[in-house]
Structure 1
Amino acid sequence: MSRLYDTVEPSVIDEDMLQRAVEEQGPKDEAGKLAKEEGIDFNDVTSLRLDFKNILKIDNLWEFTNLVKLQLDNNIIEKVEGLELLVNLVWLDLSFNNIEVIEGLGTLTKLQDLTLYNNRISRVENMDSLTNLQVLSVGNNQLTELENLIYLRRFRQLKTLNLSGNPFCEDVEKYKQFVVAYLSHLEFLDYRLIDEQSKEAAIDKYQISIDEIQHNERAEERKQEEKQQKEEELKIHTAAYVEYLDGSSLFDSMYSEDSDGQRLNEMPGVDELEIRAWFAKKFLAVCQKIFEYGLTENEKRQAEVNQFWECVEEAKTENKEAGVKILEAFNVERKRVSQLNFIDDKIEAYHVQITELWDKLMGLELQLVDQLEEIIKDFERNMQEMVSMFIENVKGHLTQCRDLENMHHERMMEISIVTLEKVIKNELDEEISEELRMLFVDKDTIIGAVSSSHDLHLLKIDNKEDDIETRIKNWLSLMMSRIRNEEEIKRNRVRVVEVNHQIDQLKDEIDNLEFLQGP
């Protein structure tokens, strides 16, 4: 697999090489000269050939973000890298290089045709994200394990596969039957059409093993579907600011850093009186209420947001229709003006008409600005009320959590004092761990431990309250800022420019006397 030019000094993909390649492959004659003079934006290039350049390292291609086809064949490339930003690639040729590992393709999700022919690859791997792959060539490499090809079953759109020239191809019959059986979605193998008879015979030979693989694949698919569903649910819960509150997350977090609380739960009497179980049950019930309330309120907020955008679009549509009627009336009047007998009369009348048109269109835009401002104000007022109500109710529920913690604290303090007295009198009926016994050296120590645990629990509740309040307020602030500063201001500027451009064009007609002939 050596190259005739391996002894030549390796080339570097630099600005000059890329510029030359783009110019060579770009338009010719006058169009080519013009493109060269004006300069070619790499971002506009969709196809690029860098073959036979003795390139060792892929580099400096980050500007070619719209590249669809890339040829890097017949070089001395050792590592697939530097392609991360070429997310629009559909066709990639890396054949006749020195690549040993398939890698660096994770972001190329649009890739349909991948050629790695004649390299040093020993394993097919690291292509999970190439879900659109239809053609793959890894012939003339160092693939030795047929079982490795089972990896390609995940590429459901893969129709053409070239593997010829690899070590496992020496046993031709076994190799072809294995590939055809396990990759039954293939249509072409080594550029030859797979006939149905061969496919059926191959599948029949490996049926037991294939059934087992399919069973495992279905199990994995179900697992992935469940994972995806949980991720989607978590997104909804996070958008509602109540993620994980349908479980024990907040309760568990109170003890995760509370070593004293964990030891105090080992005190004699805590289990018998079911203090922790009672506390957990009541606490989790309140968290569940917050969770359900949060989801309900999130739906209401989203409905309000959707209604707002519907109102905005309705106002824009009505305004646009009014603008169309004004222009239609203008064209009717322009036709009348063009039929006047004297040029001076035409020019004067046309000037008046254009001025009136500008006044009407700009007046219409100001009317829309005022209308949208009212819509935005009403929306903001409604959203502020909804957010305030949400925060108030969440705080009310979390106050219940604090009350439960206070009750739990009192009961734990009572048991701690009783236990201390028993320890001092050596009247404990059961053994306790040395770590727990260390808390009962005196009254101050045990009271301090119980109080410290209590304070930490309250801090966790306070932090959750602050987190929910901060996040929903930030959401509202960012949304309103985007609506006012990005959406509306941008729309208004674009419309003003459109109107002025339209008026300028009409004024140009006067200078060119085009209106004399009528519309």
Structure 2
Amino acid sequence: MSGFCDKSEPILMSDEILQKAVDEQTPQNHAGRVDKAKGKHFNDVLKIRLEYLNILKISHLRDFTSLTRLDLNNNLIERIEGLDHLLNLTWLNLSFNRIKKIEGLESLRKLELLNLSDNKISVIENMDELEKMTNFSFANNLLEQLDSVLYLKKFKNLFTLNLYGNPVSKEDDYTLFIAAHFPNLMCLDYRLFNEKTKKEASIKYYCVIEETRHEELQKQQVLDAEKRQKAELQLHTDAFVEFLNGSCLFKSMVKDDPEAETLHCVAGVAPLLQSYPLFLLIRAGVSDLFEAGMAEHKQREAEVNSFLSGQTQAVTDYQKRAAQILAEFEQQHKEMLLELQQLSDPDIVEVKVSHHSNEIEQLCTSLMSLEFQLVSQLEEIIKKLEINISDMVANFTESCRELQDNYHRKVQEIAVATLKKVAMDNRDEDMPDEVRMLFMDKDTVMDALATAHDNHLQKINDRETQLVTRVDAWRVALIKEIQDKELKRNRTCVSDILRYTDYLREQLEEFLFHDFLPHPPGQL
């Protein structure tokens, strides 16, 4: 493309420069001439070349949202910036500039080719988001450490790499090192890897490759475990019982509990907190709550899936019946138009048109009636879904109360049994002397347990209240979303019916007025 100014003078990017570039690069075919005449919008541009312009800074590209290729090579650019809105970019050429650091590429997730050759960059970094990159050109930069090239191993699709002219490319084992660590690479510094080179590299770097493979396997296992944990947490969150299968709620229940703290202070008792029946019982209650929540989640999912299946079937049946009615009428309509074309008597035509207009009205009535039936059917199954979900929420609330009652009863049983053992001086090898001394005073023990029970029960109550509130909020949001979608579907369907029948009437009116009404004076 031609320059915009004297090439010896640095310039800044502007809308005027960009518009001129777009106009110059618009194809000269018919479509291109139309685009040029209308003024092509920046958000429609797919490719743009801005080479050899002495550009100092990347800017004014915000509106190029459809851009797939950008060539900014042979300029005076010092920083990679201003590319945040180019989400569809697959090709970026920034070679022959003055760039010192790789940055500003976070948004370019679709980028496949990146050319940073002939700059002043010493570190390969800040490219983590470029997962689709297949071609990376980094020739004639300042890369000195061969190990730093290993940063590129994360790009599993990389098959072409160019590091020619960097200090690392002059090291003796450069080619074999790259071949060993990048087994999927097909081309290095414009040369294809042959099997001999790959084999020699695998032999020389066997130990290093095996160690690296082992490290990568461990990393992958960690990532897989994290992914599973994340998926599990999401499932528990969807069921509104997150963290109830662990020790979080248990720890919160005994935290700031003066009775538990008193027990902590007794020598030898602290290690028993994870095993003593009272605390095990708390855990069991929480575990029961978690299991009940997960089971309830499965039931809700099954109920929603059943509703969606029924809704889809109802709409499908409606569409089939409507399509059958329309197909029969379409054939009838075509036959009527053909018949009208062959008639010459205006009176007969008028009668036929009037009759067919009534048939169109009947078609509209039939389709509206069918839609009304569907709406009634869907309202019924939506109402049934709401009732079933409401019953589930109520049953779950009731089950939570039962779990609490069972918990309280068992706490009392354990406390009474422990007091009896101490009163009868029944030596229990599992009961330390410190705990036995604590249970010598019945009133103190029962008061302490009652206070602890109230504290623990309040924690469980709060968690259950939160859980039930979220379940109910989910129910309200779900029903509203379903109703809103159904209302939108109904309005669209009614609008389509009216628009179609209006079109049929217009066809008849146009036929009648254009072909059979007398022409106004002066138009014969």
TM-score, normalized by length of structure 2?
0.80
Deviations 1:29-72 (A, max 9, x none): 76456546656554444334444454444445444443332333
CA distance in 2, matches of 1:175, 1:187: 15
1:425 is aligned to none
1:504 is aligned to 502
**Mean Cα displacement is larger for which, 342-351 or 23-32?**
23-32
1:493 aligns with 2:499: no
- In the alignment, residue 99 of structure 1 is paired with which amino acid? I
2:323 is aligned to 324
Deviations 1:297-346 (A, max 9, x none): 21111111111111111111111111111111112322342325343234
1:11 aligns with 2:9: no
1:466 is aligned to 465
- In the alignment, residue 66 of structure 1 is paired with which amino acid? S
Question: Mind listing any 5+ residue stretches in structure 1 that lack a counterpart?
Answer: 412-428, 431-447
Which of 366, 374, 383 is residue 389 of structure 2 equivalent to? 383
Deviations 1:220-244 (A, max 9, x none): 1111111111111111111111111
2:300 is aligned to 301
Q: Is the 8 A contact 2:404 2:457 kept in 1?
A: no
**Mean Cα displacement is larger for which, 37-46 or 110-119?**
37-46
Deviations 1:387-440 (A, max 9, x none): 2222332344356567788999999xxxxxxxxxxxxxxxxx99xxxxxxxxxx
- In the alignment, residue 356 of structure 1 is paired with which amino acid? Q
CA distance in 2, matches of 1:60, 1:102: 20
Deviations 1:147-174 (A, max 9, x none): 1112222222111111111111123x52
How many angstroms does 1:373 deviate by?
A: 1.3
- In the alignment, residue 382 of structure 2 is paired with which amino acid? I
Q: Is the 8 A contact 2:26 2:36 kept in 1?
A: no
Deviations 1:335-385 (A, max 9, x none): 342325343234323322322222222222222222211121111111111
How many angstroms does 1:482 deviate by?
A: 1.2
1:180 aligns with 2:186: no
How many angstroms does 1:456 deviate by?
A: 6.1
CA distance in 2, matches of 1:117, 1:391: 65
- In the alignment, residue 90 of structure 1 is paired with which amino acid? T
- In the alignment, residue 394 of structure 1 is paired with which amino acid? C
1:374 is aligned to 380
Question: Mind listing any 5+ residue stretches in structure 2 that lack a counterpart?
Answer: 418-432, 435-446, 516-524
CA distance in 1, matches of 2:260, 2:58: 56
1:292 is aligned to 291
CA distance in 2, matches of 1:221, 1:325: 56
1:138 aligns with 2:138: yes
CA distance in 2, matches of 1:104, 1:145: 23
- In the alignment, residue 70 of structure 1 is paired with which amino acid? L
Q: After superposition, where does 1:57-136 map in structure 2 within 5 Å?
A: 57-136=57-136
CA distance in 2, matches of 1:34, 1:20: 16
- Indicate how the Cα distance of structure 1 residues 298 and 165 shifts in structure 2: closer, same or farther if over 3 A, else same: same
- In the alignment, residue 385 of structure 1 is paired with which amino acid? D
1:165 is aligned to 165
SS class of match (1:164): coil
Q: Is the 8 A contact 2:8 2:54 kept in 1?
A: no
Q: Is the 8 A contact 1:260 1:450 kept in 2?
A: no
CA distance in 2, matches of 1:79, 1:376: 57
**Mean Cα displacement is larger for which, 224-233 or 505-514?**
505-514
SS class of match (2:173): helix
- Indicate how the Cα distance of structure 1 residues 272 and 58 shifts in structure 2: closer, same or farther if over 3 A, else same: closer
- Indicate how the Cα distance of structure 1 residues 315 and 502 shifts in structure 2: closer, same or farther if over 3 A, else same: same
1:441 is aligned to none
1:356 aligns with 2:362: yes
CA distance in 1, matches of 2:397, 2:17: 60
- Indicate how the Cα distance of structure 1 residues 127 and 271 shifts in structure 2: closer, same or farther if over 3 A, else same: same
SS class of match (1:132): coil
SS class of match (1:266): helix
CA distance in 2, matches of 1:19, 1:467: 57
Q: Is the 8 A contact 1:405 1:457 kept in 2?
A: no
SS class of match (2:463): helix
Aligned residue-pair number: 480
**Structure with bigger gyration radius:** 2
**Mean Cα displacement is larger for which, 261-270 or 285-294?**
261-270
CA distance in 2, matches of 1:406, 1:97: 79
- Indicate how the Cα distance of structure 1 residues 344 and 238 shifts in structure 2: closer, same or farther if over 3 A, else same: same
SS class of match (2:211): helix
- Indicate how the Cα distance of structure 1 residues 255 and 35 shifts in structure 2: closer, same or farther if over 3 A, else same: farther
Instruction: Calculate percent identity across the aligned residue pairs.
Output: 37
Q: Is the 8 A contact 2:51 2:72 kept in 1?
A: yes
- Indicate how the Cα distance of structure 1 residues 232 and 326 shifts in structure 2: closer, same or farther if over 3 A, else same: same
Q: Is the 8 A contact 1:11 1:53 kept in 2?
A: no
1:481 is aligned to 480
Question: RMSD in angstroms over aligned alpha carbons?
Answer: 3.7
Q: Is the 8 A contact 1:401 1:461 kept in 2?
A: no
1:267 aligns with 2:265: yes
TM-score, normalized by length of structure 1?
0.81
SS class of match (1:122): coil
- Indicate how the Cα distance of structure 1 residues 515 and 396 shifts in structure 2: closer, same or farther if over 3 A, else same: farther
- Indicate how the Cα distance of structure 1 residues 265 and 148 shifts in structure 2: closer, same or farther if over 3 A, else same: farther
1:189 is aligned to 188
1:199 is aligned to 198
- In the alignment, residue 366 of structure 1 is paired with which amino acid? F
